[in-house]
Amino acid sequence: MYDPDPQQHFDYPPLTKIIATIGPASSSVEVIGKLIEAGVGLFRLNFSHGAPEHHARAVQTIREVAAALGTNTGIIGDLQGPKIRVGTLPDEGVQLPTGTVVHITREAVCDISKSPYLLGTTCPAIVSDAQPGERVLINDGAVRMLIVESRGDTLACTVTHGGLVTSRKGINLPDSILSIQAMTDADWRYVQWAVEHDVDLLALSFVRTADDVSELKSGIASVCERVGRSNMRMPVIAKIELPRAVENIEEILDAADGIMIARGDLGVEIDLARVPVIQKQLMERSDHHGKPCIVATQMLESMINSPIPTRAEASDVAGAIFDGTDAVMLSGETAVGQYPVVAVEHMRRIAQYTEYHLGKLPQRTSAPQKLIETRYRTAALAHGVWTVAKDIGARFVVVWSQQGGGARYLSQNNFRIPIFAVTSNERAARRMQLLRGVTPILISVPDGIEQFTHQIDQYLIGHDLAEVGDLCVLVTGQPLGLEAVTNALAIHAVGSADTGIPAERHR
């Protein structure tokens, strides 16, 4: 039934997390503050653009603004990976009519002074790896070619769909198996930079197999050891944008800490008609594995130049939320767009309306099958919390989650109420910004369970997140402040000294 005024029900931020990309339009103190207030939980640094010193200033600004606002805003660094691009051309580019013969060479510089045109590339290996009969797509498929002959140092191609080609435009080879490494030298330099600048998560581009993810994780561990931060944790998000990644999704999900459905290159590499179905399948598999999923690329693309999104874009965001995404991401909308804050506000409102509607539908618990199979006790406890919260009509769940593990298990059970995850670990608080439904709260370690209950009551009431008498489910362990200790559940009425976990249980 139509709800004439659902806005009155939006007491909390949306459960779905919003990620915003930093760029020229959003790097100032003022705009970053407004973006956080509008609903951004994580900022993305796109290492494909900008110099390290620019990103360093962005990190410093985000940290300072978040501290001033009292939020635990996270930062995700997006590694460029082996992006294949056209070499250097004159400023005006070159027009390639349909039917033109073009030779792709190993050189980085193009030569269009004679026929056939010689197009250089930033990745010489493709000349050896690509085979006749395979496609070459330039500028997101705007120009299409077919390889007709491999000549050792060149690939002879026929243009099947012509257009303008300019310097540094992307090249995709959706039919080819390439021998290039997932990590470039520049990526490894940014891994060390990310560790040194306390970035919270890293996203790996052009993942093909689980080995690519494992290689990055090993590299992160080595860097952390080398710089004296061996205890540092930096989760890895695998960007799914190649056909081979889709084929190997089970192994990739086992290796990665989450996935990002990067629909830009995915829509070039795979028939566009298949992308919506593949998106739903990838989200289902991430849910099965209990790993966070980010849906990205062109979600509100028109808002780069328009103050309102299209109806199709609004439906796209809502559709991803209906399907259970953990986070939705803005790229050019906030990096270079004219309305970065308005774009986040629109995304937040779409999420809130969609979640409000979902909250009125019948619900069943949906614990990830992979976790059920492990019979891990914290995962079982999380499932029990879901049942108790539903039966008593709890307004929210509170969990002490020192490193974020308990919060992650709760998030994976598809709660439709907020999960307030309490920790004394600042990095863990920022990492938890990726988890659907989870609002991290950073406090010092209480002396005991009674102080914790009182402290969290005062925090929630003081921040207008709860009222005296609100029912919640309290999940914790003893001693507080240690990781991997979650062993107690209680029903609690906010402000009541007679509810919660009895102190004697921990004596």
Q: Which residues are catalytic?
A: 44, 85, 239, 297
Contacts of 259 (CB under 8 A, 6+ apart): 237, 238, 239, 240, 249, 252, 253, 282, 286, 291, 292, 293, 294
What are the DSSP E strand ranges found in 154-228? 154-161, 163-165, 171-172, 201-204
Return d(Cα 300, Cα 314) in angstroms, integer: 7
Contacts of 498 (CB under 8 A, 6+ apart): none
| Whole-angstrom distance, CA of residue 287 vs CA of residue 281 | 10
Q: Kindly state the tokens that stand for 51.
A: 């110099």
Query: What whole-number distance in Å separates Cα of residue 428 and Cα of residue 407?
Result: 10
Q: Is 78 helix (H, G, I), strand (E, B) or coil?
A: strand
**474 phi and psi angles, rounded to 5 deg:** -105, 125
Task: Give the dihedral sign, CA 397/403/406/411.
Answer: positive
- In Å, what is the CA distance from 457 to each residue of 451, 454, 461? 10, 5, 6
